[in-house]
Amino acid sequence: MKGLSLQGINKTFGKVHAVRDVSKDIHSGEFFTLLGPSGCGKTTLLRMIAGLELQDSGRIILDGEDITGLPAIKRHINTVFQSYALFPHLNIFDNVAFGLRSRKVPGAEVNQRVKDTLDMLELGEMTKRFPHQLSGGQCQRVALARALVNEPKVLLLDEPMSALDAKLRAQVQIELRRLQQKLGQTFILVTHDQDEALIVSDRIAVMKDGQIVQYGTPAEVYDFPKNRFVAEFLGSANLFEGTYKDGRFHTAIGIFELEKPPPWEKGLIAIRPEWIRISDTEPAKNGLRATVTEIIYRGTNLDISLNPGPVRLRTSTYSRIKIGDELWLDLAPKEIAVLNG
């Protein structure tokens, strides 16, 4: 099989079970993201793939070859480190050439490949500069070039954008996505930033306490979170607890219809704030009469809190809503996610 296969990976540090029995196939050419809060084991998992940490049990298979026991220097995998870890005494060219020179690639080929990679990342002008003379964004691209020039089978990125400011980060995320699509290489990104994960990924694995709690495309994970953790970690969600009986879901604030009967009798449903529509008249199904208690102006939209609930909804800034207004909310059945826990 082409791609990376993790099979039953476990890792403990003392009493902390950092990674619990993780198994996942990552397809070749896929942009795969490990998303989770700090301490969820995502970086440990990445370091085990890189060969910088040894798993307690489990196997790692790369393109059909078992690399479980190979050290980092024998794995055809390269890493972009969170701190970039550029060699401060080497200039940009020598930094990028490092991996090729370690493998004793002939000089002319080194020059060509380094030049091509630097040009691709628009660093061609910087070859003679040293890392301390570059900005954060440039350092990040050098770190990317230093890994990519080796043409790794898998590129690992350990929170590569955490040191960039918000505006640059948004730009770099899109560049990274485009670069990955152009190269068609397997990228594995570790991040705690849900926006970043949604923007760049083909597939996201949401991690919690060392386990993958949900896995799927960004739309699958965002639109239909499987549990409370995912619903709250990715974006924000209105969660309602209640019981399902007589084909309807009974909560403290009202009775709603669901698209499909849930697999439980007592449980949780979630609805994203931006999916709730405001209506002047009572909607045919799942209407909720509520009073506006708080309005937060966010430039691109308004975040509104309402009672009962509290229900949070997101609407355009055009709406002339004031605190104290009574509104009809439309919670369409097809937009309600049924959670498993």
Instruction: List contacts with another protein (CB under 8 A).
Output: 50-52, 71-73, 77-79, 81, 83, 85-90, 98-99, 102-103, 146-147, 150
Q: CB 154 → another protein: shortest distance, Å?
A: 12
Least separation, in Å, of the C-beta of 288 and another protein?
52
Nearer to another protein (CB atom), residue 140 or residue 238: 140
Nearer Cβ to another protein (123/154)? 154
Nearest-approach distance from CB 58 to another protein, in angstroms: 21
Given the complex with another protein, which of 78 and 201 has the nearer CB atom?
78
Q: Is 86 within 8 Å of 95 (Cβ atoms)?
A: yes
Contact 117, 149 (CB under 8 A): yes
Closest CA to 267 of 180, 336, 183: 336
Between helix 107-120 and helix 136-148 the angle, nearest 10°, is 140
- Measured from the CB atom, the residue of 79 and 214 that comes closer to another protein is 79
Cα–Cα distance for residue pair 231/99, rounded to 1 Å: 41
Place of tokens 């060699």: 87
Judge contact between 39 and 90, C-beta under 8 A: no
Shortest Å, Cβ 133 to another protein? 13
Side chain identity, residue 292:
V
d(CA 63, CA 185): 13
- Residue nearer to another protein on the CB measure, 103 or 266: 103
Closer Cβ to another protein, 88 or 299, answer by number: 88
DSSP 276: P
In whole angstroms, how close is the CB of 121 to another protein at the nearest point? 17
Q: How far is the CB of 104 from another protein (least distance, A)?
A: 10
**What is the closest distance, in whole angstroms, from the C-beta atom of residue 137 to another protein in the complex?**
19
Q: Which of 154, 168, 188 is nearest to 75 (CA)?
A: 154
Which secondary structure element, helix H or strand E, spans residue 309, and what is its range? none
State in angstroms the smallest separation of the CB of 144 from another protein: 13
Closest to another protein by CB, 4 vs 292, is 4
**Least CB distance to another protein at residue 151 (A):** 12
CB 162 within 8 A of CB 83: no
Report d(CA 316, CA 283) in Å as an integer: 20
Q: Which is nearer to another protein, 71 or 124 (CB)?
A: 71
Strand partners, 158: 190
Detail the DSSP E strand segments found in 180-310. 186-191, 203-208, 211-216, 238-245, 248-251, 255-256, 266-271, 277-279, 287-297, 302-307
Residue 229 and residue 235 in contact, taking contact as beta carbons nearer than 8 Å: no
User: What is the distance between the alpha carbons of residues 28 and 229, in angstroms, rounded to a whole number?
Assistant: 29
Which one, 77 or 290, has the nearer CB to another protein? 77
Check whether the bond before 310 is cis (ω within 30° of 0): yes
The H or E element containing residue 222 is helix 218-223
